[in-house]
Amino acid sequence: MNKYIILSIILFFIGNIIRAYRTIYILNPYLNKPIKPYLKSTFIGFFIDFFFPFRISDIVRTFIFSRLTKSSWRMSLSLAFIERVFDLIIVFFILLFFNIKSFSILILFIIATLIFVFCNFIVFKKLYYFCVSIFNDFIKSFLLGLYWSLYRLRIDIVNNKKNLFIFSLSSLLMWGFNI
């Protein structure tokens, strides 16, 4: 077997272990669980990716993660959303390091990042209340729970400089191993 294939498999596993530790670090105030459920849900998600399109594995991964850790699915879904946004930011900076040539993409990405990181959540709260008013009580309850989970995780990551640094560094390491 080619040594580069073996090296890429090893780096892939190291990147996913870093992803699991990143999740443990962020969820530590809410869940104090060993690494096994985090790794299990991550690897099941990647296995699902081989068979289903459109990253359906993220939904499956959040469902399995919430079952294994006995946490709410809303919190798992919120964490997956925040992970995806930060992963997008980190991958963008990695690509920027390797010289993106399109200035318009750079500006668009910077604006989207600033809106997500610094936007006043009152606007998002009003948008959620509007969307929730359209649906029945079950969907309303789910959307409000999702909003508050997302809000709480965002506050814990973005407003705490130490958490933001560790989350960003672990994301950078994870993507460094996966790229």
pLDDT of res. 122:
64
Segments in the chain forming alpha helices (H): 3-27, 36-49, 57-69, 73-97, 103-118, 121-134, 137-158, 161-178
CB proximity list for 23: less than 8 A, separation 6 or greater: 38, 79, 83
**First vs last C-alpha separation in the chain:** 20
Nearest CA to 43 out of 25, 22, 19 is that of: 19
Percent of the chain with pLDDT strictly greater than 90: 0
pTM of the model: 0.67
Percent of the chain with pLDDT strictly greater than 70: 79
Residue 128 has pLDDT above 70, yes or no: no
Residue 151, Cα to own-chain centre: how many angstroms?
14
Structural contact between residues 77 and 62, judged by C-beta atoms closer than 8 angstroms: yes
CA distance 77 to 58: 8
pLDDT of res. 135:
67
Q: Band of the pLDDT at 127, cuts 50, 70, 90?
A: low
Return the residue matching tokens 């930011």. 89
pLDDT of res. 132:
64
pLDDT of res. 156:
74
Give the total residue count for the chain: 179
Q: Band of the pLDDT at 124, cuts 50, 70, 90?
A: low
CA distance 178 to 12: 5
Residue 85 has pLDDT above 70, yes or no: yes
Q: Band of the pLDDT at 61, cuts 50, 70, 90?
A: confident
CA distance 96 to 164: 20
pLDDT digits (tens, 9 = 90+) for 134-175: 666 667 677 767 777 777 777 777 777 787 788 788 888 887
Q: Band of the pLDDT at 94, cuts 50, 70, 90?
A: confident
